[in-house]
Structure 1
């Protein structure tokens, strides 16, 4: 292995920082460094400044998607390798993202080919150990590294820098946590959104031993010149009369079961109509805790049943309200093909559920009003700009086919589903090779509409798109920011969020807006501390 720490005449990071006192503002066009290929990285002062500070202390960088977090990592790695005779880990949550970072570093950095290596579980342990020993810049998912460390195939004593991409994942039992626990040298964390709760952000910081937070938003003057405005619209629709008829018995059942739980001291902190899926999941934990402590357990069996029925009813209501009748019925079909638990049998045989299913079966040809509105949006977009690239996000795979069928009536639309690798019954996932082929076709405009689940939210190198559509709001500020960041890079971006009035859509939208605002306030207090 060839280390580069003793190369002579290296240009330090400070040599290329802007001289604020120079009246000519002699800023170079490109970032210049012996370990960076010439005329490859455009000089952006905020990137150089962040990389400079990150060279001295463990840093979490919070930047909007598409602003250049990876370039900051590349600049930092180049300056680190110039000074230190040590290895660097570049970790990311998924194999496509790992490969993307590997190719980015090869594109920009002046290192010999054998200094880069990608590690994965598909490589034998013995070979991984050898590759680790001989490489300088190592790219991997954290699960592979955590497993190798646990099995003592190698250790981190020769590693001097770890880059944790999508570092907001460094909570709980995620593999970033044990790796960081064993590491006591330089850390760089990259994220577009670390979360909307101070407790979660503090957990990420503590787990990665972060000493400094560097935050930039699209409103910052130094960022504004590198991004375009994003216009956000909300398109609201009303549920059809038939959908309201299906909804009515399900709401009766939901409220009935929640009120039973409230009578025995659960979920007392909210009105029954405001109880969320998260509340119901937490409620089960509380029932279990009481079950362990209580001598009289009989009534708690009924609580477990009521919680289970309330949660499954909530899911049916969510599918109906946000996705439509067909996705709801597809969920119900799963009960016919699986061995059911007692709670599931009680749920599916409940009179209110049976009534809702009967109405739904009679109305199954009726599509969600969002689909009509979506077709209108897509038609308008391609009429205005026939070379548009559009990304449509939906929470559920079962909705993708309905969306593609609806919008493909337009002869200008070439739509394709983009999902993860996991296969479900009657719904095959996409291999990494298939995903890459679809993304290549999308870049070349052979496909101009991608209809995706959450797999396209995080990290994957999707080109700047003309329009992003949320088929439904998501209550997560992290996922919303990731989705929104797919547009507004090289041209003015447009985001449209479809909302069914008086449904969970509205609750999710308000929850996300509140959490994002809270996150910005928390981060603002943490910057540079």
Structure 2
């Protein structure tokens, strides 16, 4: 059964009818809402329908912001298809690649503008843009609306200037921390949270299956030998701090324990303990060692080399970095790395996975995620050796550590080449994790697990968007990889609990579908009232309650009814203070 949404501002048959999306649209139009849906569940579709109705009811224009140029461009293309051509809305995409003069001439000429938050913030602050007549703000990847991020600043400016505010924040991964979710809501002046998970009965049939495989590899002995001097060095520092009572965490040395020790030392300094200055210096060294050890064991020599290159840059400004690099163990490592090529087991594992995938399906498209650019470069070189593998890098705009970034235009161009099949393996840093819709990508490979639940969810969301997808997570045995994977899982499990806790702080919001009365649904050529369609879908997935209680009667024996004397409580006693 084919069902499509009909609306005066939407192109015919451009929007598939999904009841859970229509309920979300009704909520978004009623008050400022944080929409939390799984990746590929159609947050952009909800935004398009909400925009269509908002611009039917209100004068003015809508601003849609997203964190990257590639994502902004993608949203504009998808939305342009959704809206009718004869509306004269002049839909635009504005970003930093446009000159100041061009941007100033474009603002005010469109009813729907897609933009990066940096240009919105800068142009408002410099008087080139007024948000007074903006009747709706859509914030994609709303989990960025914290701290001093440009997303948060743009939202603040909108809320302070607009005459008729309505905000829709959208994300698949808000956070597992209640305080961060609350901060997002505060910064966007959210009045309602609309949440659905992958397990929701109304949504589950629309999502493709996603199979996640853990690929465990052994760290080469050579890398363990390279890391050993630094493991001993770090242990010596931590043992000393344990004796002083600064490092108090039991078990393996980790960043959380080191961060706690740094806090304790800083507090001791404020209390006048001059001995704590030495602890602060030692713990800072242990933190650098922790990063270096994990780079060697979990990433390989290219990432470790990149880390030391950054240290070289820091050493020009920081005395502690300079002293660290002058240690004979670090100098020996730098010499060793400069004479070596990447040989981490993860490289060969990725080769094997990619070759096998393309052998079984020559039209397959694969995305590989890695945290570090040097690893991306090493992976591209390793895969380019095979004729049928056509890899391409996808990295951020900034140029650092001798690596030249990609301009927004080049990023978009590379994505288009990957989608068209000119390249079949996209090797990306974190810039490729968020929001990008690549329907044909059917395998995502994580070079490393990340402890952040937000990044893990976003990475997974790049595959299995229109058909079944697979995810392969590479894990180096007996390293931080194992702890990072466990950490992200626990945080993801807790994330929805945290969202629900924050949601309970808002007044309950019941969807009566009043805000979407201008919508209808076309089913096999026949028009159906939107309320009837949604209610029918809700009834179809409603959980049936049993009329008869079939639970077993619990027989309580005479011996279970008797309480021992120590359980007795005098009449009127309600607390220990009355004992």
Query: What's the TM-score, normalizing by structure 2?
Result: 0.79
DSSP-derived class of the 1:451 partner? strand
Shift of 1:488: 1.6
**Equivalent pair of 1:287/1:300 in contact (CA under 8 Å):** yes
1:162-201 map, 5 Å: 162-182=137-157, 183=159, 185-201=165-181
CA apart distance, 1:357? 5.1
Q: Partners in 1 of 2:439 and 2:90 — Cα distance? A: 28
* Structure 1 position 249 matched with structure 2 position 229: yes
In structure 1, C-alpha distance between the alignment counterparts of 2:224 and 2:462, rounded to whole Å: 34
1:416 aligned residue (392, 399, 410): 392
Q: Is the 8 A contact 2:342 2:378 kept in 1?
A: no
| Distance (whole Å) between structure 2 residues aligned to residue 154 and residue 481 of structure 1 | 35
Partner of 2:295: 319
1:113, CA displacement in angstroms? 4.6
When structure 1 is superposed on structure 2, of 509-518 and 93-102 the one drifting more is 93-102
**Aligned position for 2:252:** 273
How do residues 224-239 of structure 1 correspond to structure 2 at under 5 angstroms? 224-239=204-219
CA contact (8 A) 1:60 1:188 kept: yes
Aligned partners of 2:291, 2:182: CA distance in 1, in Å? 32
Partner residue of 2:350 out of 371, 374, 379: 374
Work out whether 1:476 is the aligned partner of 2:455. Answer: no
Cα distance in 1 between the residues matched to 2:103 and 2:337: 54
State the distance in 1 between where 2:325 and 2:140 align.
Answer: 43
From 102, 113, 127, the equivalent of 2:76 is 102
Change (3 A) 1:205 1:265: farther
**CA 1:378–1:62 in structure 2 vs 1: closer, same or farther (change >3 Å)?**
same
Indicate if the aligned counterparts of 1:246 and 1:357 stay in contact, CA closer than 8 A: no
Q: Is the Cα–Cα contact under 8 Å of residues 439 and 464 in structure 2 kept in the other structure?
A: no
Determine if the alignment matches structure 1 residue 434 to structure 2 residue 414. Answer: no
How far does residue 193 in structure 1 lie from its aligned partner after superposition? 0.5
More divergent stretch after superposition (129-138 vs 315-324): 129-138
User: 1:348 matched to which residue of 2?
Assistant: 325
CA contact (8 A) 1:464 1:486 kept: no
**Paired position in structure 2 for 1:208:** 188
Change (3 A) 1:334 1:119: closer
CA distance in 1 between partners of 2:432 and 2:237 (Å)? 37
The Cα offsets for residues 406-440 of structure 1, whole Å up to 9 and x where unpaired, read as 23333321111111111224322112222222211
Moved more, 119-128 or 489-498: 119-128
Q: Secondary structure at 2:198's aligned position in 1?
A: coil
- Once residues 333 and 193 of structure 1 are traced to their aligned partners in structure 2, the CA distance between those partners, rounded to angstroms, is 33
* Closer, same or farther: CA 261–168 of 1 in aligned 2, 3 Å: same
Distance (whole Å) between structure 2 residues aligned to residue 408 and residue 330 of structure 1: 22
| In 1, Cα distance between equivalents of 2:342 and 2:44 | 46
Q: Is the 8 A contact 1:249 1:353 kept in 2?
A: no
CA distance change for structure 1 residues 474 and 56 in 2, over 3 Å: closer, same or farther? same
Counterpart Cα distance in 2 of 1:96 and 1:365 = 33
Deviations 1:285-327 (A, max 9, x none): 6655654x34454x34423321331122112111101111343
Tell me if the contact between 1:381 and 1:388 (Cα under 8 Å) persists in the aligned partners: yes
Residue 146 (structure 1) aligns with? 121
User: Among residues 492, 506, 518, which one is paired with 2:468 in the alignment?
Assistant: 492
Contact 1:260 1:306 in 2 (8 A): no
Count of aligned positions: 498
Contact map agreement 1:255 1:272 (CA 8 A) in 2? no
The CA deviation string for residues 387-418 of structure 1, in whole angstroms up to 9 with x for no partner, is: 11000101111112222232333332111111
Deviations 1:104-159 (A, max 9, x none): 22221126455433344555667645543443222222222223333455543322
C-alpha distance in 2 between matches for 1:335 and 1:93? 28
* Secondary structure of 2:174's aligned partner: coil
Q: Gapped runs of 5+ residues in structure 1? A: 1-26
Indicate the residue corresponding to 1:93 in structure 2. Answer: 67
Aligned to 1:12: none
Which of 47, 50, 58 is the aligned partner of 1:73?
Answer: 47
Alpha-carbon separation, structure 1, partners of 2:425 and 2:31:
42
Q: CA deviation at 1:474?
A: 0.5
Larger Rg over CA atoms:
2
Query: Does the aligned pair in 2 maintain the 1:247–1:356 contact within 8 Å?
Result: no
TM-score (norm 1): 0.86
Indicate how the Cα distance of structure 1 residues 256 and 108 shifts in structure 2: closer, same or farther if over 3 A, else same. Answer: same
Question: 5+ residue gaps in structure 2?
Answer: 510-579
Paired with 1:411 and 1:424, the residues of 2 have a C-alpha distance of 31
The residue aligned with 2:107 is 132
